[in-house]
């Protein structure tokens, strides 16, 4: 099986991070990230992160071409709206397939006003007022013509607020106010068979224009609207559109985007891997869509990744109140153990467990995890059995950790601290220029 070399650019956006989650563990893909030489989460998440200039810098295209040639890139996912337009316009110069819609669709969908003009006869679009003197009443919305999501949108309730918004919002559009529920419809289209999937989710909470709480929902109109939009714009692969209900209940189009959405994860975990399907669609492979039924609520928050100087070859771990907590296996400690197994590090269980240790380990399916098991007597110190300098100890007891740290000179952790190890960047040391 041929593994496709896939580049995501820019890798550190919410779009890029969702593509990473979707493709990182797919056997069909070898994943690369690229972006500016600035602090961003893509450096922590991707197996390789390569620096490229912004598309607003003059040498971005030759630098991108050079990187694609050097890495033998097969496919590029543009992961920001302006980048979609730039890469679609330069397709013929890029030695890799750009996975997005045809150029005309990319240009049209980058502008809300152009989108509304193009689709006015296809779906219900918002009423747009040409200037402040033709507004029939309040409230209404002022939104940037080239914004994305709900970022930069202002509700205005009087003329003074309207004048202030028009003066500060870039390329302002004066739109009717839509008071109802807001939806995103995640879509996947085959260029010959049309829309193969159109799944709606309600946008329940947003932050900085990004949906951070979303729930999948059956929306009967979604498929028909998707088919009409997809046919008019010749969309293929993954894309989405957003809707809001008017006061009379009509569903009104807000925007269309020919790309992955960060919150497409809500449908990905049901079985729709949009980035992988987009690769297969480009290759004209026979496609079937199958997903698990049921409603999904997804809530997004900041997550932690760490870069740190902790280096060790041997893990010592306690059993009671550490690996076993409240009668159950502590999955966070198990994650650390299996990371150590994958990295061929030695694992020693240090325990004063009362009772039949072998039975306890077997009962909790923990037998066979350890290279060595030390069953201490009640009076023995754990430091007696820690003989290597390149080791760490994970133990719930502060006194035990202090004693081992003082006598053996190694780092010690309780269960609240091992996030540093389990959520470390696996790839940060592989960053390349």
* Mean per-residue pLDDT, 317-326: 97
pLDDT of res. 425: 72
pLDDT at 403 over 60: yes
Please state, in angstroms and rounded to a whole number, the distance separating the CA atoms of residues 134 and 224. Answer: 33
- Answer whether 108-115+179-294 and 314-422 agree in fold: no
Please state, in angstroms and rounded to a whole number, the distance separating the CA atoms of residues 274 and 296. Answer: 17
Q: What is the biggest distance separating any 2 CA atoms in the chain, rounded to whole angstroms?
A: 86
Query: Which stretch of 87-96, 234-243, 421-430 has the lowest confidence by average pLDDT?
Result: 421-430
pLDDT of res. 429: 47
149 pLDDT tier (thresholds 50, 70, 90): low
* Mean per-residue pLDDT, 109-130: 96
Report the CATH superfamily, name and number, of domain 4-99: NAD(P)-binding Rossmann-like Domain (3.40.50.720)
Please state, in angstroms and rounded to a whole number, the distance separating the CA atoms of residues 356 and 336. Answer: 25
pLDDT of res. 351: 97
Please state, in angstroms and rounded to a whole number, the distance separating the CA atoms of residues 408 and 430. Answer: 32
Q: How many Cα atoms occupy the beta-carbon half-sphere of 339 within 13 Å?
A: 18
208 pLDDT tier (thresholds 50, 70, 90): confident
pLDDT at 209 over 80: no
pLDDT of res. 178: 95
Highest CATH level, class, for 314-422: alpha beta
Highest CATH level, class, for 108-115+179-294: alpha beta
- Give pTM, 2 decimals: 0.89
Please state, in angstroms and rounded to a whole number, the distance separating the CA atoms of residues 199 and 97. Answer: 26
Indicate the domain borders of the chain. Answer: 4-99, 108-115+179-294, 127-176, 314-422
Which CATH architecture fits 127-176? 2-Layer Sandwich (3.30)
Residue 294 DSSP label? S
pLDDT of res. 153: 87
Please state, in angstroms and rounded to a whole number, the distance separating the CA atoms of residues 375 and 120. Answer: 74
303 pLDDT tier (thresholds 50, 70, 90): confident
> What does the CA dihedral 227, 148, 99, 74 come to, rounded to 10 degrees?
-160
pLDDT in tens, 37-88: 999 999 999 999 999 999 999 999 999 999 999 999 999 999 999 999 999 9
Closest by CA position to 423, among listed 299, 298, 331, 335: 335
Residue pair 193/156 in contact by the 8 Å Cβ criterion:
no
Q: What are phi and psi of 253, to 5 degrees?
A: -70, 135
Closest by CA position to 204, among listed 196, 194, 212, 195: 212
CA 296 to each of CA 94, 213, 255, 262: distance values in angstroms, whole numbers, following the listed order: 38, 11, 23, 15
> Around Cβ 368, how many Cβ atoms within 10 Å?
7
pLDDT in tens, 152-165: 789 999 999 999 99
pLDDT at 430 over 60: no
Q: What are phi and psi of 59, to 5 degrees?
A: -100, 15
């Amino acid at each position: 099986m041929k593994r496709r070399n896939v580049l995501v650019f820019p890798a550190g956006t919410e779009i890029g991070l969702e593509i990473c989650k979707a493709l990182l563990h797919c056997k069909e893909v070898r994943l690369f990230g690229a972006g500016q030489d600035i602090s961003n989460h893509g450096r922590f998440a991707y197996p390789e992160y390569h620096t490229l200039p912004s598309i607003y810098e003059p040498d971005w295209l030759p630098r991108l071409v050079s990187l694609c040639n050097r890495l033998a890139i097969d496919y590029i996912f543009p992961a920001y709206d302006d980048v979609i337009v730039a890469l679609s316009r330069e397709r013929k110069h890029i030695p890799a397939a750009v996975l997005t819609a045809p150029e005309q669709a990319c240009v049209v969908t980058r502008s809300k006003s152009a989108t509304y003009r193009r689709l006015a006869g296809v779906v219900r679009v918002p009423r747009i007022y040409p200037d402040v003197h033709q507004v029939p009443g309040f409230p209404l919305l002022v939104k940037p013509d080239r914004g994305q999501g709900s970022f930069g949108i202002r509700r205005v309730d009087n003329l003074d607020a309207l004048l202030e918004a028009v003066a500060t919002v870039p390329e302002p559009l004066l739109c009717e106010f839509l008071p109802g529920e807001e939806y995103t419809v995640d879509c996947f289209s085959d260029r010959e068979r049309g829309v193969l999937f159109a799944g709606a989710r309600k946008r329940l909470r947003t932050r900085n224009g990004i949906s951070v709480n979303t729930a999948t929902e059956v929306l009967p109109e979604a498929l028909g609207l998707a088919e009409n939009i997809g046919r008019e714009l010749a969309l293929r692969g993954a894309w989405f559109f957003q809707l809001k209900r008017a006061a009379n209940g009509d569903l009104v189009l807000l925007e269309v985007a020919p790309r992955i959405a960060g919150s497409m994860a809500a449908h990905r975990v049901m079985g729709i891997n949009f980035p992988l399907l987009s690769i297969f669609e480009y290759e004209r492979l026979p496609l079937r869509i199958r997903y698990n039924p049921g409603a999904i609520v997804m809530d997004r928050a900041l997550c932690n990744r760490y870069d740190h100087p902790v280096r060790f070859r041997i893990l010592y771990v306690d059993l009671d109140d550490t690996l076993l907590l409240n009668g159950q296996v502590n999955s966070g400690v198990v994650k650390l153990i299996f990371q150590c197994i994958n990295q061929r590090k030695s694992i020693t269980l240090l325990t004063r467990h009362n009772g039949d240790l072998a039975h306890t380990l077997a009962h909790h399916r923990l037998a066979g995890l350890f290279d060595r098991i030390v069953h201490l007597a009640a009076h023995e110190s754990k430091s007696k059995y820690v003989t290597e300098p390149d080791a760490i100890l994970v133990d719930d007891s502060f006194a035990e950790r202090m004693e081992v740290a003082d006598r053996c000179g190694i780092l010690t952790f309780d269960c609240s601290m091992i996030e540093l190890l389990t959520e470390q960047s696996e790839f940060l040391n592989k960053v390349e220029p």
